[in-house]
Structures are given as C-alpha cells and as structure tokens.
Amino acid sequence: MEIELFSIFYMIGMAIAVVGGGIRVWNWISSFPISESYKVITDIVKSAFSTFFSKKICYIIKGLFLGIFTKAKLRSSNISNGFFKVAFIIAYLLLIIAYHIKVENIPQLKSFPIYISFFIAPFADFYFLSKTSIESFTIADAFFGFIHDFFALIIISYLLFMIYKRVIRRVHLKINFEDIFCDAIIILWFVSKLMAETSTIIAFNIHSSIAKYWFFSYALSTMLKNLNLPWLTLYHILWNISGLFLGVLIASIPFTKLWHIIVGPIQILRRYSIGEKPIVISFGKKLSKPFDLRKLLETESFEVKIGIKTIKDMSWRQRISLEPCIRCGRCQDSCPAYAAGRELSPMEVVLNLNSSLKLIFISDILNFMAHVAKWLNFKNYISSLSEKSEKLLLLNGKLKDETVWSCTTCGACVAICPVDISNFEPLIERRRFLVTEGKLDSIKMDILKNLIEKSNPYGMPISDRDLWMKNLSVKTLKENPNPEYLYWVGCSSSYDKRNQNIAKSMVNILNKAGVNFVVLGLEERCCGDTLRRMGDEGRFQELALANIEVLKSYNVKKIITHCPHCYNTLKNEYKEFGGDFEVIHHSEFLLNLLKMGKIKLIKVIEEETLYHDPCYLGRYNGIYDAPRILLQMISNLKVKEFEKHHVNSFCCGGGGGNVWYEVPEKEKMSVLRIKEAEKIGVNLISVACPYCITMLEDALKTKGLEGKIKIKDIAETLSEVIGE
C-alpha cells in the first residue's frame, strides 16, 4: 500500500517542526559550554522523570488542569475561558490517543512500520470508512466515530470563541495576525477533516447504521448527498487538503505562539513540582542568588557577571520561562503599574525579551561567520560581523530604564498568568545590571547610599533607631538575652513618626498578653528587602549576613514582625545564607493571642472597614484569612471587601523600592485604590503593612480626603479595643 499525499504533507510539516524546535532549544542553551548545555538538557529530562515518578505528579496535574480554573477564577470573566481551555486540552489529548488506537486496529495498515503508522494516525478514517462493513463494525468503532466529531466540535467552538473575543469584542489586545493564523489553521484542519469524512460517507455510500456515529459528518452528508458533485474525486482532494493544513499547523508550532504547547508543560512542571499553591506566587518570595558573597570572600575572586546586559546573560531557566507566553493579556490587565499609566506592560516585557531570544540563533550564525572570516584572514569582515552579532542581543531598546523602575514587584502578573511566567524577574535582573554599571539617577543612588552607610533608606542616624521606644516598657536583647520572641520592628516603624505608632501598639498588645519578647534596638538594621529589589545584590548579602550573625549570637529562634517585606525577607530569603528562623507575621500572632484568651476585647468599634491585602503578605506568602478573622472578632466592626481583594488585590505602589522614589505615571496606584474605597463608602481602611499606610495616606492627601477616611494597621485597631 502506498503512502498517501496527506501523510507526506504531515511528514514534511513534522520535519520542519523538528528543525524549528531544534533552533528554539539552541536559543535556550546557546552561550553555555557544551558540558553545561548537556547538563541543561539532562536536568530537564531528570526533572521530568523524577516528578512523574513521585508524589509531585499531583502538582503537575493541578497545574495543567485545576490550575487553569484557579487562574481563571481570579477574574470571574475568565471562568468561561478556563472551562473552554480545559475542554480544549482534554479533547485534543483524547483525539490524539484515539487516532493512534484506531490506526492499530485497521487491518490494511498493519503492514506499515510503526513510525509510518504515526503519520497515518490522524487520517485513520480515510482507510476505515471506505473499507468497513456492517458485519465488521464494532462498538469501539462507534465510540471512536462519536468522540471524534464531538471533540472536533469542542475544539472548533473554543477557537471560534477566541477569534470572537479578539476580533469582535477586542478583549485584552489589538488584533494580531499570528493569533488569528494559529486559531484559523487549527479550525481549517478540523473543518477540512470533517468535510473529508462527509465526502467519504457520500462517495462510498456508507450505511446509516455506521455513518450516524460520525454524527456531524453524517448530518452534513444527508444535506449534501443530492448535489451532483464528483464525490470520489472530492474525497481524495479533501483528505489531501486536510493533510496540507495539518502539515502547515505542525510546521508552524516552533515559529508561532503554538510553541507554548511544548514549553507550557515544561514551565508548569518547573513551577508546580516544588509544591507551590496556585494562589501563592513561586517566584519573587525568594529572588535568585547570582553569587554567594561568602564564597567570593573565601576565594578573593570577585569576577562575577550580575544582571542582564544582553539576552544571553539570562540563564536557561529564565529563557524557557519567556517561551510559553500566548499574549492573553491577563498580566497587563492585572498590573497596577499599567493601570496607573506607567511605562510598563508585563506582557510587552516578556514579548520584547522573547523577540530577542529568537535572535540568538542568527547572532550565533554571525559569530560563526566572523570566525570563518578570521580563519580566511578577511579582516574587513571580522569586526563588522562581531558588532552586528552583539548589537542583535543588546536589551537597551527592549527594556527601557523607566520600564525597569516602574515595577513594584507586587506579583499580580505572576499570580494571574496561566503558565506562571515570572514577568518581573527580568526587570530585577536588569536592575542588577544597572546598579553594577552605576546607571542610576541621583535619587536612587542616595537611597542605596543611605542603606549602605546608615542601614536605613531614610538616611537617619543609627543612633535614632530606638527613639520610638522611649517611655515604653520594652527591653532589648542585651537586657533580656533569653526571650521567647524577638520583635523585628523594621526601618519604617523605627524612623517614620506615623508608622512608629504600629510598633507602639504592638508593644502595648504584647505586654498586655504577657509575652516574653525583646527588640534589637540599636543593633537592628534594615532587613535588606529594598536593597535586593532595587538590584544591589552584593550589599544585600552583606547586610543579610551581618543580621544573621547578630541574631545567631543571641540564639534567636522566633521572630515576630508587622512588616510583610521584613517578614518575606527574614522567612524566605535568609535561609540561603544560614538564617533559618521561625518568622511570624503579627496578623497571625495577634489572632493566636486572641484565640488563646491572652488578650481581652473590652471596647467596641461602631464602624465599617475595608481590609487591603498587602502584596508581600497575600500573594507572596498566602496570608489572607488571619487579618480578616482578627478584625471580625472586634465587636460591631463590620469587615467589607475591596472589589479587588485576596490574590487579586491591587498594589498600593510601595513595593520593589517604589516607596522611596517616584516614577512618571498618569495617576498614583494608591489614588486608584482610594477611589475604589470611595465607591464602597467606608471611613476606615485596615492594612497590615507600614508601606501601605504610607502610600494610602499620601493618596488621601492627594485626594483631599484627610480626616474623612482613616488608614490603620490591624495592630493599631486591636490596641485601641484592649485598652491602655
């Protein structure tokens, strides 16, 4: 039996896809030594095998299926899209399985080798329908016919729905040719296949007791069979057209957004195999460590590459994480910086870097040509080719400085992304490069200088760090070296007069509850969150190591802090440097005191309050319920929700160092948040982060709402109702 033309089209498409896929993989591993490139590939394979043969497979299933619904539910408008996507994936996988099972049970195809059967499988009905009879027809054949048409219609419906969203409703984005092409080519394949089956039913006069299971094709055949057309000729033509569309579809995978079909599962595999909850972002709570300062000091070798100047400076993991983007626009819609009119779109960041990633192969060809020119002694071409190769990969035009510094690292983009792309990771890496090169404006330079010289971003003297404690009953570690808890106050509540009230409220509550606690006083330094998020990795590690040394010298085991940024740094980032402490956020600690009856609520608050979720407490660390439950326990205080709350909360604008510098924007993020509160109509906004207080109170001044709306930390509110 000869191989049909449609199978040849499929083979050609597959060959092009393999070459294109090879180029994409080359872009991941290019610039790494051969041994490291080999390690990259083996790491991916090992990770896949170790995950699939362990309990982690549960997280992969969650990521591939349940995770899609979770991401969709972050916005109620995406639930239908999530349902369609799951149905699409299941339908596509079951169809592939069904094709290959079917082809094994067609007698006339058993003479083909297995590798040829692979290319025949999508066209199993071409052979089966024309040769089957009532006597040989089985229940399995009927089932295949039904699920083929049923799932084909699901896939076509989903893609038509996506085209409707893009072209008619214009949801998320402007119309993009690639998006329309990808959807259209899949639709054309399935439609041509259904039409080919219809022509087969008519051409061979398939008995209705068989044909009815291919219910859609059969329905079409009953409508078209009376047309005077050369159905035997059309039967061959339509199957070949179907094969052509499939060949084009397969060939286009490495060159279009369809590539996410391959790299999406790899990305989800990496993210969910570590066991992260879908509502907690896996990147950001612990930034990458480009070097270990301790090892550099030991070896006295300080030649390390920090940050990204070119796309090749990104690690293979970072390169892969750019690939699954399908331009759905959810990250952009969720980004508070974009909503505020800043020069930042998380989607554009990924797409711009992805376009640079695709140039690595061309750059390497130019480099190879430069080496050939050198070998042939063509001196005039060597420098020209090398310069062109390097210019292709520079990120100066791809990541503008204004874009880089606009990000608050709130994680909204990562939380909403269906494939967990870390949109702001490249921005942190670019900041590291800019800091290393000294390409900062005077304001940012002063912030880093203050942190380095004064150990606080305000530039205030270290000797002023304990002024907030005057006339309070609170001891330092020196005065009480055997406490149960260390209360980490943080820079904001040590120096900012407004936020000092949070620390004073905490001291009042802890003393009333009889907690054996201390503070570091003058020995406390900045935790380093701002240093690291602004890109000064070396100084961050220096500060972290110094803090850890002090904490270990006092044998500190448990730390309480009211600042989510301190909480995240102490809990998640210090571990890499030997600082493994039990860190508790004050919302959970205070709630526990209430539940144990250590403190009594003796006053009532006749008010309604909105609770604002801090990004580093909620999205980063999954603490959503404790602050709400605590507030709900206060008599007569009614807790309401912002329109954007929990994992979908709207950033105050203070994270990522933004609390210390300003970025050009149309409207402040904090003002947008206050506007949301105005619509709901409350007089009190409760928070659990000093940065949020600073930013939201600044917005009140901007809006002229001082005195009309109050911003309070949950500790301040609790301190009021337990009395002095």
Q: Which 3-state string (H, E, C) describes 247-301?
A: HHHHHHHHHCHHHHHHHHHHHHHHHHCCCCCCCCCCCCCCCCCCCCHHHHHHHCC
Distance CA 413, CA 708 (A): 33
Distances in Å between the alpha carbon of 364 and those of 26, 321, 380, 384, 508? 10, 21, 19, 14, 64
Distance CA 533, CA 474 (A): 32
CB 264 within 8 A of CB 29: no
- The torsion angles phi and psi of 323, rounded to 5 degrees, stand at -70, -35
Give the list of residues 6+ apart from residue 412 with CB closer than 8 angstroms, or none: 331, 334, 335, 336, 615, 619, 648, 649, 650, 651
Reported as a pLDDT band with limits 50, 70 and 90, residue 376 is: confident
Query: pLDDT, tens digit, for every residue of 619-644?
Result: 999 999 999 999 999 999 999 999 99
Nearest one of 551, 542, 525 to 297, comparing CA atoms: 542
- In the chain, % of residues over pLDDT 90: 52
Q: Which residue has the higher pLDDT, 634 or 114?
A: 634
Helix (H) or strand (E) holding 437: helix 425-437
Structural domains in the chain?
5-30+90-261 (no CATH), 285-437 (1.10.1060), 443-722 (no CATH)
Q: DSSP states of 516-549 as a string? A: -EEB-GGG----SHHHHHTT-HHHHHHHHHHHHH
Contacts 24+ apart (CB under 8 A), 173-181: 173/327, 173/329, 176/327, 178/256, 178/257, 179/257, 179/327, 181/252, 181/256
The pTM for the full model equals 0.85
Q: Find tokens 């506007």 and name the residue.
A: 675
Distance CA 407, CA 658 (A): 8
Q: Find tokens 């039409």 and name the residue.
A: 195
Reported as a pLDDT band with limits 50, 70 and 90, residue 276 is: very low
Q: Which residues pair with 684 in a beta bridge?
A: 609, 710
Q: What pLDDT shows up at residue 263?
A: 85
Query: pLDDT, tens digit, for every residue of 251-275?
Result: 999 999 889 888 877 776 666 554 4
Distance linking the first and last C-alpha atoms of the chain: 93
CA of residue 216 relative to chain centroid, distance: 40
Give the list of residues 6+ apart from residue 413 with CB closer than 8 angstroms, or none: 331, 332, 334, 335, 346, 421, 423, 424
Q: Mean per-residue pLDDT for 323-351?
A: 92
Distance CA 8, CA 4 (A): 7
Reported as a pLDDT band with limits 50, 70 and 90, residue 537 is: very high
CB 453 within 8 A of CB 332: no
**DSSP-derived secondary structure letter, 462:** G
Distance CA 229, CA 116 (A): 33
Helix (H) or strand (E) holding 638: strand 637-641
Q: What pLDDT shows up at residue 270?
A: 63
Report the chain's mean pLDDT, rounded to a whole number.
85
CB 24 within 8 A of CB 254: yes
Query: pLDDT, tens digit, for every residue of 554-585?
Result: 999 999 999 999 999 999 999 999 999 999 99
Strand bridging mode 582-585 / 637-641: unpaired
Nearest one of 5, 12, 3, 4 to 249, comparing CA atoms: 12
